[in-house]
Amino acid sequence: MKLNGLTIRQAQEKLETGEITSVDLTRACLDRIKAVDNKVKACLTVCEEEALVEAKKADARRAKGELGDLLGIPYIAKDNIMAKGVKMTAASKILENYIAPFDATIIKKLKEKGAVLLGKSNLDEFAHGASTENSAFGPTHNPWDLERVPGGSSGGSAAAVAADMCLFALGTDTGGSIRCPASFCGVAGLKPTYGLASRFGLIAMTSSTDVPGPIAKTVEDAKIVMDAISGIDKNDATTVNTKELSSEASELSSKRVLKGKKIGMPKEYFNEGLDEDVKKFVMKAVNEYEKQGAEIVNVSLPHNKYGVAVYYIITPSEISSNLARFDGIRYGFSDKESKKLIDVYKKSRGKGFGPEAKRRIMLGTYALSAGYFDAYYLKAQKVRTIIKEEFDRVLKEVDCIITPTSPHTAFKIGEQSSDPLKMYLEDVYVTGASLAGLPAISIPVGFSRGLPVGMQIIGKRFDENLLYGMGIAFQGATDYHKAKPELK
């Protein structure tokens, strides 16, 4: 196997024995980016010189006896996450030439661990989308079929991992933006519990649901990365001290993790609209869990059907507020020809924002305006509370919930871009966990007509260990995660 095709765990074993160096690993990834990214278009920025410098530093640290799961491991970060001195565009023209002045907390933590940043990945502009077609710099292509989308909004990160351009990537998930692309690209993607990792240094989308998380080749690798980036941060008041949490840590042994565990199967997720192949492979995976000792329990989440509607009132509302800072005055693109202040605002935002960003700003401003706040935003928040309470009630009866990640496999580029409502409905299975602040992971469980099928596992707050155990147990018994796209 080529070095860029290794998992984090496999690479660490070779680094520790001296069989390879971080420079070798980093060069292999950079060479892979040069070889295939002209087709995939996963990267917006590649930091070749800087990455090799960091790799040499990691090798020097190792030579002095330092050890670490991420020491010398190359990765890519979604381009709405700040890395000091590196261009950060959020895939928008309004930030086309913006250079990040500081590191996001999660980037800082990875630097301390010795991970090597290769570059920044493409996304839907400001993370607004489910296909990575809304980028101002063009769409990313799915490595399994270059005519199809990689999912979104973290599509560049998922495509980069699937195409072996890096050993892992960082994404952000607001309403499925890690899980959806992980499903479409056949990799593992974790949306952690809200508050587990700091949002400081991320471009804010929907502050009440935004979370950063890992996209990796295996569930074990996702755990390694999440352990490194989680924890309390004085710059983010929503973070928690995970060391003080009393949640029971689950065994990661496939022989013991499932014994006596109850898996909830919500009937609302397996109704009309679900592709038959997707349903077949998810049910096959559930049967595998049953063989390993888990008990399957039928449950109901009747209010989840309102999740997309609630999400697309709350999300644009918070977006309209968060994007107000991009006014052509403080930073980013500015229309300098305008002489009146109001014209600076209008023209800078008019030229800088793409269609989807504008659509969400207008929807959100409307929902928050006088006379409509109670009818839309306030009501959406009340229904959100009901959805949260419903999940909490079901998760008292079962240890986790299993659903498909997406109702179908990756669709063709351009197939849904003219229908915003149809695109919003892509999030039908993933918004619930986001609204409730719950952890959820997507793992590959099969292939339909050559395209990956993803399964979502939702757990109790801060019980990521159970999700890791479930994922590792499945991947220990199957080989779906080992499949690679035939990308020349």
Active site residues: 78, 153, 177
Beta-bridged to residue 374, according to DSSP, are none
Q: Give DSSP secondary structure letters for 96-154.
A: TT-B-SS--HHHHHHHHHT-EEEEEE--SGGG--SSS---TT----BTTBTTB---SSS
> 242-247: long-range contacts at Cβ-Cβ below 8 A with a sequence spacing of 24 or more?
242/196, 242/462, 245/462, 247/460, 247/461, 247/462, 247/463, 247/465
Terminal-to-terminal C-alpha distance of the chain: 15
Give yes or no for a contact between 208 and 314, defined as CB atoms under 8 angstroms apart: yes
CA angle at 120 for the pair 119 and 123, rounded to the nearest 5°:
155
Q: Which tokens go with 204?
A: 């804010």
**Cα separation, 359 vs 74, whole angstroms:** 36
Would you tell me how many other CB atoms lie within 10 Å of the CB of residue 444? 28
Would you tell me how many other CB atoms lie within 10 Å of the CB of residue 61? 16
The dihedral through the CA atoms of 359, 361, 362, 363 has a sign that is positive
CA contacts within 13 A on the Cβ side of 353: 25
Give yes or no for a contact between 144 and 159, defined as CB atoms under 8 angstroms apart: no
**Cα separation, 119 vs 51, whole angstroms:** 8
**Cα separation, 433 vs 23, whole angstroms:** 39
Would you tell me how many other CB atoms lie within 10 Å of the CB of residue 275? 15
Query: Which residue, 470, 476, 445, is CA-closest to 182?
Result: 445
Torsion angle of alpha carbons 402, 406, 408, 409, nearest 10°? Answer: -110
Q: Is residue 90 classed as helix, strand or coil in its secondary structure?
A: coil
Query: Which residue, 65, 68, 71, is CA-closest to 21?
Result: 71
Backbone angles phi and psi of 297, in degrees to 5: -125, 125
Query: Which residue, 124, 118, 193, 122, is CA-closest to 152?
Result: 124
